[in-house]
Structure 1
Amino acid sequence: MNGILPLYKPTGITSADAVYHARKILGIKKIGHSGTLDPNVDGVLPLAIGAGTKAVPQLMASGKVYTGEITLGFATTTEDLDGEVVDKTPLTQPFTADQLDAALTAWTGNITQIPPMFSAVKVNGRRLYEYARAGETVKRPERQATVSQFTRTDEPVFSATDGTQRFRFEVHVSKGTYIRTLAVDVGKTLGVAAVMSQLTRVKSGGFTLKQAVSIEQLKAHAAAGTLADVIQPIDIAFADLPQVDLTVEQFEAISHGRFLSLDQQTPRVRLHFAGVLKAIYRREDDQYRPDLMFLANEKNV
């Protein structure tokens, strides 16, 4: 069983929990995911199965799209609603829509982020959340990210009672972008405390929320013997690369790791034999050389 499964992860479980459920349902241990979702975040979690695990870097490189909500007026230890409130800046009047839009625009493009303390980033061999839970502080490394689109998607709602203002957004980002930190940074631009109050990943690895399969649906497909309807072939992760259909002689050559001379000019190509992805080759010195090999790959299910 080899392929890519766009799974829907609900809130309340970790990404590791989702992988555990998939392993149990599919009866296969070799399953990985392409980008962790926090327990309080739901959405698309592409799972790589069998030989598909080699495609994880490609899936992650495709970028992600989220929808969510930012609340202005207070901040927490975790930058979302799971943490303890550590700062309050009650709003006496709401920001205008133009002010909010300008703050989002300020965080569009190539940006620098400092990962939140409650994150899985490693510093000196320990994850940041381990320092945070121990009450320790440590210098956090800066990270570069790209935000290609960051827009408000509804009318902001102001509460004079608790001095907060909330609004929904959609954001398109590169891998490794912390949306929680984006919410906090938007607040800093406006001069107030802020928190990410809700988040859903609606696209990842090229898969949308509509394509994602729930754990219960996966169970039903497994029971009905229709897993082929939901587990996509590995080459879907490389759909943007030109496809080359190999001759018997060419397949024999790549089976021994040999280089190929192809009538192509692109940096990478996907090589198929008998309708199945067998390798990704990269161009170097006018020849194509092995990049990723999938020689044992057969039909995905």
Structure 2
Amino acid sequence: MYNGILPIFKDRGLTSHDVVFKLRKILKTKKVGHTGTLDPEVSGVLPICIGPATKVSDYIMEMGKTYEATVSLGSTTTTEDQTGDVIEQKYILPGEITAENVDLILKQFEGVITQIPPMYSSVKINGKKLYEYARNNEEVERPERQVHVYKIKRTSELRFEDKHCQFDIIVGCGKGTYIRTLATDIGSALQFPAHMSKLTRTQSGGFDIKDSLTLNEIVELHEHESLQEKLFPIEYGLKGLPQIIISEENIKAKILNGQKFEKTMFQQNIDDMVTMVDEDTQKVIAIYEPHPEKQDEIKPKKVFN
């Protein structure tokens, strides 16, 4: 049985669920899970957890992502991307905006910013996904959310065509950031309607697009019984968490039994989740977190037996 994390290149036209469904058939296992959805019209890296590695999918999702996007000024759409119906237009001609204007505005979107999720998204309001409301032409109040944009930079010249202006950006961001919404908000700041006309995810959870495999490549590797060599270990998906190296056998045994510990047992300050790593094997044996009621204790969140 396979065990590990497999970065996949998702083509446009496939949903993340499609990828998982196809992998389950190829690998003949149900223990396959993705680490955050990619819209059907978005291509790029999609880390997939297989076998026992599905236990760490939540932690991979917490790690940062990087996108390459095209912002199109001159029209906005119902979906905030190129797939929706145009709902507002304001034609733009060369000279009405400059690269310097764009760069100044982009700086405003670095750091912690406020977003309102798009109507065509899977965010749930009152137990129902926003896109379900949108498809029924129902308006619903969408709560603001705080997201973190680590970096945002223009990577192309401004392109003027068909009374629109397009430019490319690279965005490094945290969980829950909508690049579609970022594109429309950039347009608003420039005083033009806008939408995102193309998007590729180049990094996710520490995995790079250059390390990603296509479904066809996976089929071939599976048939030649060499796919396991391409899987990343569980530890790779937890590299965003601090580590505590455990050498004493009696402590390892207690960890594997799910025992709680006093924080003072360890030299590191433990203010959030940490991984317990076996010094001999370099394998993660558990994830611990501060006890919610006893401030001097830590308790197991997940044990890998």
Q: Distance in 1 between matches of 2:232 and 2:138?
A: 44
Q: Distance in 1 between matches of 2:266 and 2:139?
A: 56
Is residue 264 of structure 1 aligned with residue 304 of structure 2? Answer: no
Q: Is the 8 A contact 2:122 2:129 kept in 1?
A: yes
Structure-2 residue corresponding to 1:6: 7
Structure-1 residue corresponding to 2:25: 24
Is residue 133 of structure 1 aligned with residue 135 of structure 2? Answer: yes
Instruction: Give the partner amino acid of 2:181.
Output: T
Q: Is the 8 A contact 1:242 1:270 kept in 2?
A: yes
Is residue 294 of structure 1 aligned with residue 272 of structure 2? Answer: no
Structure 2 matches for 1:122-201, cutoff 5 A? 122-159=124-161, 162-201=162-201
Equivalent position SS for 1:154: coil
TM-score by length of 1: 0.92
Equivalent position SS for 2:104: helix
Which among 283, 288, 293 is matched to residue 281 of structure 1?
288
Distance apart, 1:48 and its partner CA:
1.5
> Quick check: 180-189 or 210-219, which moved more?
210-219
> Quick check: 122-131 or 249-258, which moved more?
249-258
Structure-2 residue corresponding to 1:222: 222
Structure 2 matches for 1:36-47, cutoff 5 A? 36-47=37-48
Q: Distance in 2 between matches of 1:185 and 1:211?
A: 32
Instruction: Give the partner amino acid of 1:104.
Output: L
Q: Is the 8 A contact 1:266 1:283 kept in 2?
A: no
Q: Distance in 2 between matches of 1:144 and 1:5?
A: 30
Distance apart, 1:29 and its partner CA:
0.7
Q: Provide closer, same or farther for how the CA distance between residues 230 and 33 of structure 1 changes in structure 2, counting only shifts above 3 A.
A: same
Q: How many residues align?
A: 293
Q: Provide closer, same or farther for how the CA distance between residues 168 and 155 of structure 1 changes in structure 2, counting only shifts above 3 A.
A: same
Q: Provide closer, same or farther for how the CA distance between residues 246 and 222 of structure 1 changes in structure 2, counting only shifts above 3 A.
A: farther
Which runs of 5 or more residues in structure 1 are unaligned?
296-301
Q: Over aligned residue pairs, what C-alpha RMSD do you find?
A: 1.7
Give a deviation string over 1:215-242, Cα, whole Å, max 9, x none.
1111111111112221111011122432
Give a deviation string over 1:73-127, Cα, whole Å, max 9, x none.
0111101111111111001334100001112112111111001110001111111
> Quick check: 199-208 or 216-225, which moved more?
216-225
Structure-1 residue corresponding to 2:98: 96
Q: Is the 8 A contact 2:256 2:285 kept in 1?
A: no
Q: Is the 8 A contact 1:271 1:281 kept in 2?
A: no
> Quick check: 92-101 or 234-243, which moved more?
234-243
Instruction: Give the partner amino acid of 1:129.
Output: Y
Q: Distance in 2 between matches of 1:244 and 1:226?
A: 31
Q: Distance in 2 between matches of 1:15 and 1:274?
A: 37
Q: Distance in 2 between matches of 1:239 and 1:137?
A: 41
> Quick check: 70-79 or 55-64, which moved more?
55-64
Distance apart, 1:274 and its partner CA:
5.7
Structure-2 residue corresponding to 1:299: none
Q: Distance in 2 between matches of 1:145 and 1:72?
A: 23
Q: Is the 8 A contact 1:122 1:128 kept in 2?
A: yes
Q: Provide closer, same or farther for how the CA distance between residues 124 and 286 of structure 1 changes in structure 2, counting only shifts above 3 A.
A: closer
Is residue 77 of structure 1 aligned with residue 87 of structure 2? Answer: no
Q: Distance in 2 between matches of 1:252 and 1:273?
A: 13
Distance apart, 1:266 and its partner CA:
4.0
Equivalent position SS for 1:226: coil
Equivalent position SS for 1:86: strand
Q: Is the 8 A contact 1:184 1:195 kept in 2?
A: yes
Instruction: Give the partner amino acid of 2:49.
Output: A
